[in-house]
């Protein structure tokens, strides 16, 4: 449990340190205060407690069944006892590591693709006019056709959100 909560504390420190870099990497305005919401804090600490309990059970059971006198006496014969579960846990941990590394590589390539992809328009030559009033929203099609009358305007589109 101590290691799980120490890992959680270290993860929270890293999140706080790298939050600005992460926000600029993904290009979304995330707020750090979201992590401090009570529901998310309960989920985070509950997960840390569950991980601490689940991964603390196996060593506790092994150590509680450990008999030093018998182990010293039967040292030569007790080499493979409990090795199957240990092997399964090592394979699972190795598989999880490979999956996390592969997932990181895929996400890195996707983010690089998003940053370097030609969007088909020049962001510097886009004009965004917010339409918030109800009367203006009703007249949006008339506004659109009014802009298209100018030969300098190549295209007009209507959307509910800002282009990225």
Summarize pLDDT for 116-143 with one digit per residue, the tens: 888 777 777 777 777 777 777 778 888 8
Give the residue from 47, 66, 85 where a domain finishes.
66
Give the residue from 66, 96, 112 where a domain finishes.
66
Structure tokens belonging to residue 71: 């182990």
The Cβ of residue 48 has, within 10 Å, a number of other Cβ atoms equal to 19
The pLDDT score that the predictor gives to residue 45 is 92
Q: Would you say residue 73 lies in a domain?
A: no
What's the count of helices (H) and strands (E) in the chain, helices before strands? 6, 0
Model confidence at 107: pLDDT above 70:
yes
Summarize pLDDT for 60-104 with one digit per residue, the tens: 887 777 776 766 666 555 555 557 778 888 899 999 999 999 999
Summarize pLDDT for 144-159 with one digit per residue, the tens: 888 889 888 888 877 7
Structural domains in the chain (count): 2
Structure tokens belonging to residue 151: 């030969």
| Domain span including residue 8 | 1-66
Angstrom distance (rounded) from CA 121 to CA 73: 78
Q: Would you say residue 83 lies in a domain?
A: no
pTM as predicted = 0.43
Q: Would you say residue 97 lies in a domain?
A: no
Q: Would you say residue 148 lies in a domain?
A: yes
Q: Would you say residue 117 lies in a domain?
A: no
Q: Would you say residue 114 lies in a domain?
A: no
Q: State which H helix or E strand residue 9 sits in.
A: helix 2-26
Contacts of 15 by beta carbon, 8 Å cutoff, 6+ apart = 35
The pLDDT score that the predictor gives to residue 163 is 63
Task: Label each residue of 19-50 as H, E or C.
Answer: HHHHHHHHCCCCCHHHHHCHHHHHHHHHHHHH
Q: Would you say residue 78 lies in a domain?
A: no
Summarize pLDDT for 37-69 with one digit per residue, the tens: 889 889 999 999 999 898 888 778 877 777 767
The pLDDT score that the predictor gives to residue 117 is 84
From the list 3, 9, 116, the residue with the least C-alpha distance to 60 is: 3
Q: Would you say residue 52 lies in a domain?
A: yes
């Amino acid at each position: 449990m101590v290691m799980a909560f120490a890992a959680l504390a270290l993860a929270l420190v890293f999140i706080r340190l790298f939050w600005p870099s992460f926000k600029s990497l993904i290009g979304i305005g995330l707020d750090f205060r979201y992590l401090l919401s009570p529901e998310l804090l309960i989920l985070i600490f509950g997960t840390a407690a569950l991980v601490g309990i689940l991964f603390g059970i196996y060593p506790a059971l092994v150590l509680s069944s450990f008999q030093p006198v018998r182990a010293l006496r039967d040292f030569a014969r007790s080499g493979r006892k409990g090795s199957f579960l240990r092997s399964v846990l090592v394979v699972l941990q190795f598989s999880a590591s490979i999956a996390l590394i592969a997932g990181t590589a895929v996400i890195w390539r996707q983010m690089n693709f998003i940053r370097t992809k030609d969007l088909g328009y020049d962001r510097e030559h886009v004009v965004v006019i917010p339409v918030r009033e109800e009367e203006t929203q009703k007249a949006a099609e008339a506004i659109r056709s009014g802009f298209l009358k100018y030969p300098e305007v190549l295209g007009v589109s209507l959307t509910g959100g800002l282009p990225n």
